[in-house]
Amino acid sequence: MIQGKSIIIFILATFGEGEPPDGATTFLSWLSNNNHEVTELEFAIFGLGDSTYMKFNQCAKNCALMLEKSRMIHPLTLGDDDKK
């Protein structure tokens, strides 16, 4: 569990059709079951995705929703691999 006041910057990629990469699945599963306990967190999220996919940056968006009881210290930022 995340305890005390913490600041975390998440960098989250989205794989395929909105799925998290293998390295993030355990964390996001934990967060989806325990997000009510994560209230003193200050965070920012940078998403990595490709806007040609229907569920562009879905992993980062889902994480932001799960952390809605915490304090986002910077607007959700979505990187786009398709931009040239």
Q: How many residues does the chain have?
A: 84
Q: Superfamily assignment of 6-80 in CATH? A: Flavodoxin domain (3.40.50.360)
Nearest to 59 by CA among 7, 22, 5: 22
pLDDT number for residue 5: 73
* Least confident piece of the model among 31-35, 52-56, 78-82: 31-35
| pLDDT band of 34, cuts 50, 70, 90 | confident
DSSP 3-state of 34: helix
pLDDT number for residue 77: 98
Question: What are the residues whose beta carbons fall under 8 Å from the beta carbon of 33, sequence distance 6 or more?
Answer: none
- Specify the residue for token string 């993030």: 24
As a whole number, mean pLDDT of residues 46-73 equals: 95
- Where are the chain's structural domains? 6-80
Threshold 0.85, pTM exceeds = yes
Give the distance between the most distant pair of CA atoms in the chain: 41
